[in-house]
């Protein structure tokens, strides 16, 4: 009597939130690694709304610039792997996340 094996292992989503802040100096960290299915949280520390725009089509949700109000946050689940670049439309400040399938062993 063998237990049935599911076709696909359920993915264990990373619990740690990837935190990125935006202030007058730009994104911090400006370049970072993330994991597939990890939640990224941007926090706007400026006194006006900012707009995130991706550099090339990658995530459907960012086809148009996405607003983050002053003092506000935006959370998004990284559901693809690869290098994802984005910028803040007014300032032109850039950021990127290298999205990996799993944490590198080291």
pTM of the entire predicted model? 0.86
Element (H, E) at 56: none
Q: Is residue 43 part of a domain?
A: yes
**How many domains does the chain fold into?**
1
82 lies in a domain? yes
Within a domain: 38: yes
Is residue 69 included in any domain, yes or no? yes
In a domain, 8, yes or no: no
Q: For the chain, percent helix, then strand, then coil, each to nearest 5? A: 5, 45, 55
> With 80 as the cut, is the pLDDT of residue 3 above it?
no
- Name the residue range of residue 31's domain: 18-100
Q: Is residue 11 part of a domain?
A: no
Q: Is 26 helix (H, G, I), strand (E, B) or coil?
A: strand
Element spanning 74, H or E:
strand 73-77
9 occurs within a structural domain: no
The CATH number assigned to the domain holding 56 equals 2.60.40.420
> Is 55 contained in some domain?
yes
**What is the per-residue pLDDT across 28-84, written as a single tens digit (0 to 9) for each?**
999 999 999 999 999 999 999 999 999 999 999 999 999 999 999 999 999 999 999
């Amino acid at each position: 009597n063998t237990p049935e094996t599911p076709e696909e292992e359920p993915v264990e989503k990373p619990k740690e939130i990837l935190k990125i802040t935006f202030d007058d100096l730009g994104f911090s960290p400006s370049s970072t690694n993330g994991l597939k299915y990890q939640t990224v949280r941007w926090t706007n520390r400026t006194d006006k709304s900012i707009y995130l725009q991706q550099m090339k089509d990658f995530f459907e949700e960012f086809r148009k610039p996405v607003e983050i109000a002053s003092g506000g946050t935006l959370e998004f689940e990284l559901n693809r792997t690869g290098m994802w670049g984005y910028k803040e439309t007014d300032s032109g400040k850039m950021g990127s996340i290298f999205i990996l399938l799993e944490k590198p062993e080291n």
